Structure 1
Amino acid sequence: MRQNLSFTLHVLTARLDRAADRLLRAEHNVSYRRFLALTLVKELGTPTQRALADTLGVTEPSVSRMTAVLAEDGLLDVQPDPAGGRRKLLSLTEEGDRLVTSVQRDFEKRFAKLVAHSGVPYGEYAEQTERLLATLDHLWTEKGTR
């Protein structure tokens, strides 16, 4: 077993992200970064561009450019906030929702196969990963470093 698990996790995540990006570009003509944005819009409900930028950890101008492209591609609806101001509310179009749902299902099947090939029990891996994530969230919230 490697002694540098944190580095190994970073390598695994980077390789999974690259594989996802190649697959999405080839099969759906969308980058993994844009797919993540669409996924987060679905998860957050009807977020503002600022909320999406905060969640993605990028600037608002970056999200503004990204959402414009996704709207142009028919995957995202961008509307002014009825409360006024310059805020924009984001929601998935039907096509965007179908894409997110379909790709999430496909990625889950592919990941389950990868985990099965590794010999690690899927349920155990999922439980431990969720436990680590919950602990990290708790510690970040507790220390206010989120």
Structure 2
Amino acid sequence: MSRPDLAAMMAPIGRALVALERPILQEHQLSMWAYAVLSSLDDEPVRTQAALAEAIGADKTRLIAVLDQLQADGLIERRPAPDDRRARVLSITAEGRRVRDAVQAAIRREEEQLLAVLPAAQRDAFVAALQALHAAVRPT
């Protein structure tokens, strides 16, 4: 049986997910990039700005403004790297974790409404498949 290309099926889903996240991020005064930073810092509590930019697929020169805002809002800390004072080491603050967790919980509630069109077993399989695909294409 014929089916659309994966990209043709994923693109509208991606747009729908971005649309459901946008008001949640606005409510918490975060950009998509700011949320990506906060989410990434949870994976590794401390990393350099360059490594962070690479991990989230951001241009490191454009990321600086996002990091400046997150720091000004008290959501992250930046300090010189002990082995290279030109590099900055990033860490998420307690307030950053609180905001990230609140945003993630709200996003997950919205995602669950979208996933509710699938039976529970298909939901679990779909999420597991996305996690496997994400791991396969994620830059290392």
Range of TM-score over shorter length:
0.7 to 0.9
CA root-mean-square deviation = 2.3
Q: Is 2:135 the counterpart of 1:137? A: yes
1:96-111 superposed matches below 5 A: 96-111=96-111
| Cα separation, 1, equivalents of 2:131 and 2:68 | 32
Structure 1 stretches of 4+ with a deviation exceeding 4 A read: none
| Cα separation, 2, equivalents of 1:122 and 1:107 | 19
1:42-53 superposed matches below 5 A: 42-53=42-53
- What is aligned with 1:127? 125
Specify which structure has the bigger relative contact order, considering alpha-carbon pairs within 8 angstroms and separated by 6 or more residues.
Answer: 2
Local SS of the residue matching 1:130? helix
Local SS of the residue matching 2:84? coil
Contiguous gaps of at least 5 residues in structure 2: none
Q: Which has the higher helix share?
A: 1
1:1-146 superposed matches below 5 A: 3-25=4-26, 27-116=27-116, 118=117, 120-135=118-133, 137-138=135-136
The AA in structure 1 aligned to 2:125 is: E
Local SS of the residue matching 1:78? strand
| Cα separation, 2, equivalents of 1:73 and 1:31 | 13
| Cα separation, 1, equivalents of 2:41 and 2:134 | 23
| Cα separation, 2, equivalents of 1:74 and 1:62 | 20
Q: Which has the higher strand share?
A: 2
| Cα separation, 2, equivalents of 1:31 and 1:12 | 20
User: Percent of aligned positions with the same letter in both sequences?
Assistant: 24
| Cα separation, 2, equivalents of 1:10 and 1:4 | 10
Local SS of the residue matching 1:96? helix
Contiguous gaps of at least 5 residues in structure 1: none
| Cα separation, 1, equivalents of 2:134 and 2:111 | 23
| Cα separation, 2, equivalents of 1:39 and 1:24 | 13
May I ask how many residue pairs the two structures share in their alignment?
Answer: 139
